[in-house]
Amino acid sequence: MWKTLETLPADQSVSLQEVLAQIPWNADGLIPAIAQQYDTKEVLMLAWMNAEALQETLAKGRVCYWSRSRQQLWRKGESSGQIQELREARFDCDGDTLLLQVDQTGPACHTGRRDCFYNLVQGDRVVVDQPVLIDPGTLYGK
């Protein structure tokens, strides 16, 4: 499937169901999903999806991931209110990574920061370069 897509000219398409059937899931049945703010192109986070999470996301338009730590579906924003509305989904060239362009409500990171990539490498130091926007205790009621 992925070789076929490589050779198609722009504006040609194949069935979504055919593509979904050919996703090269990892040994745990997961695929990485990168969330990007659709209008600013800011990379927000990386999470994982299983087939059920991907199908729910595509059907409902609200992003759902698979929580590896809790071993259950993780509907982004379900407990914090910081939801991700799906604007566009893209597979990479070999189908083993998803790019989800989303409209993020509030912080994307569980730390209360806008995104999860706030640890900036500068020479021999790592600098926290983003403020906490909302205290995690407030986000999660802890």
The CA distance from 120 to 101, in Å, is 23
Tokens 């900036």 locate to 120
Spatial CA neighbour of 73 closest among 89, 96, 57: 57
| Tokens (6 digits) for 12 | 């040609």
Dist CA 111 CA 8 (whole Å): 42
Answer yes or no: is 103 a known binding residue: no
Identify the helix (H) or strand (E) that includes residue 49.
strand 43-49
Q: Has 115 been labeled as part of a binding site?
A: no
Residue 109 among known ligand-binding residues: yes
What is the rounded distance in angstroms from the CA atom of residue 110 to the CA atom of residue 69?
A: 14
Residue from 63, 37, 57, 25 nearest 115 by CA = 37
3-state secondary structure of 4: helix
Q: Is 64 among the annotated ligand-binding positions?
A: no
Annotated binding site for Mg(2+): 92, 94, 96
Annotated binding-site ranges: 92-94, 96, 109, 116
Annotated binding site for Zn(2+): 93, 109, 116
